[in-house]
Amino acid sequence: MTPKNLQGDKRNSAEISSSNLTNGKARNEAQIDLQSGTRNDSENGSIIICGGGTGGHLAVAKALNEELVSRGCKTIFVGSSGGQDKMWFENDDAFSEKFFLPSSGVVDKKGLGKLFSLFNILNLALKCRVIFKARGVKAVVSVGGYSAAPAAFAAIISRTPLFIHEQNAVIGSLNKLLKPLAKGFFSSYFKPVFSYPVAERFFKTARLRSELKTVIFLGGSQGAAAINSLALKLVPTLTQKGVKIIHQCGKNALESLRKEYKKLGIGGDELELFDFDPKIELKMNRADLAVSRAGAGTLWELTANALPSVFVPYPYAANDHQVFNAKFLVDQNLAEFCFQKDGEVDADEMLNLINEMDLKQISSKLAKQIDNDGARKIADEILKNI
């Protein structure tokens, strides 16, 4: 049995149920009546971590949760039944409970769609207040993304201390709205600056690069069509030079790319093609250079791993935040940009950038751009202010 969510619950819609997972076994102990606020267990004083939708937000949630749990805190995850939230945390027993709500974004909606989404957020926020009451919630930590909205607004309504982590160099719409009302605001781009909460495993697998033996293409767990297309153009040239390829292509493109690489006669030890790996740091460790989108989570993980990168910012990201995420590295000559135009990335331009990168110098300097205490210092601030 897995944690249930509002959307698929056949009982009265005024109930949320979740399952506590211990040693892989589910116990139906955490049913909450959202009309009365009645609780049927003795847990108290929890911290809610909310948000997600994409891997970048969820990686921050995971890193902060690991730090808080290591200090004896009981944590609850509140996310969305859509996006990647359930894939990441449905079976993660580090959280004492998980709630996956039918939340949806507002920014890309218009007219009645936007009105419905706003009403849905308000409705879910009121229901989250009952979770707060039933669990004696003492703080809410938002890591951003549309699935953070219900619990974040519930924190404001119930006067529960709200802490916000902004992962990007451009503040998201929700965080911009809630920042003046928050007890604490954490960012790696805005003062006071906190190191990005990257998991320790990315630091532990870091190494100094000096010679181009392996290139990793990172399109994220959902894949990036432009990077997939670029890889197919570059890989024949790279493999002829003895360079091995690691390629994260996304689930939807996995089978088609296997066929394309087979047509090119590339496989075996030359190529490792995959869609998602929870231990992506091990693949980064084997690479000497990355070609990647510039989402904040991936960017800081690559930095922590001391892996030189050429960034291909997603051209449709809100407010061009991927460009601004990576700009501070590019401005220091610690990374390069290769922009996508009309859905394509220029293969010749990318190849020139790869050939010209001073891997040893860049790798040695990247390690100094981020400390491994980001999650610890953020947790310090949260716990001393609640």
Mean pLDDT over 39-58 rounds to 77
Of the candidates 283, 281, 286, 277, the residue with the CA atom closest to the CA atom of residue 304: 281
Query: What is the model's pLDDT at position 36?
Result: 40
Is residue 228 a part of any domain in this protein?
Answer: yes
Q: Is 44 annotated as a binding residue?
A: no
If one compares 100 and 9, the residue with the highest pLDDT of the two is 100
Q: Quick one: pLDDT band at residue 106, thresholds 50, 70, 90?
A: low
If one compares 79 and 8, the residue with the highest pLDDT of the two is 79
Domain range for 255 is 201-366
Q: Domain count for the chain, please give it.
A: 2
Residue listed under structure tokens 């030359």:
270
58 and 24 in a single domain? The answer is: yes
The runs of H, that is alpha helices, within 241-346 are: 254-263, 280-286, 296-304, 321-331
Query: What is the model's pLDDT at position 54?
Result: 84
Query: What is the model's pLDDT at position 33?
Result: 46
| pLDDT tens-digit readout, 241-287 | 999 999 999 989 999 999 999 999 999 999 999 998 989 999 999 99
Is residue 236 a part of any domain in this protein?
Answer: yes
| pLDDT tens-digit readout, 80-95 | 998 789 989 999 999 9
233 and 263 in a single domain? The answer is: yes
329 and 209 in a single domain? The answer is: yes
pTM over 0.95: no
Mean pLDDT over 342-366 rounds to 97
Query: What is the model's pLDDT at position 384?
Result: 96
What CA–CA distance (Å, rounded) separates 386 from 139? 7
Q: Is 168 annotated as a binding residue?
A: yes
Q: Quick one: pLDDT band at residue 113, thresholds 50, 70, 90?
A: low
68 and 179 in a single domain? The answer is: yes
What CA–CA distance (Å, rounded) separates 377 from 365? 23
27 and 64 in a single domain? The answer is: yes
Q: Is 322 annotated as a binding residue?
A: yes
Tell me the pLDDT of the chain averaged across its residues.
87
| pLDDT tens-digit readout, 222-249 | 779 999 999 999 999 999 999 999 999 9
Is residue 1 a part of any domain in this protein?
Answer: no
Query: What is the model's pLDDT at position 223?
Result: 75
Indicate the Cα dihedral angle 33, 36, 42, 45, nearest 10°: 100
- CB count within 10 Å of CB 263 equals 9
Mean pLDDT over 160-176 rounds to 94
Q: Is 35 annotated as a binding residue?
A: no
Query: What is the model's pLDDT at position 19?
Result: 36
DSSP classification of residue 179: G
380 and 315 in a single domain? The answer is: no
Query: What is the model's pLDDT at position 386?
Result: 92
Is residue 9 a part of any domain in this protein?
Answer: no
247 and 279 in a single domain? The answer is: yes
pLDDT > 70? residue 104? yes
Q: Quick one: pLDDT band at residue 161, thresholds 50, 70, 90?
A: very high
Is residue 111 a part of any domain in this protein?
Answer: yes
Query: What is the model's pLDDT at position 89?
Result: 95
| pLDDT tens-digit readout, 181-225 | 999 999 999 988 999 999 999 999 999 999 999 999 998 767 799
What CA–CA distance (Å, rounded) separates 185 from 212? 39
Mean pLDDT over 338-363 rounds to 97
CATH (domain of 151): 3.40.50.2000
Q: Quick one: pLDDT band at residue 109, thresholds 50, 70, 90?
A: low
CA atoms within 13 A on the CB side of 52: 33
Mean pLDDT over 118-122 rounds to 86
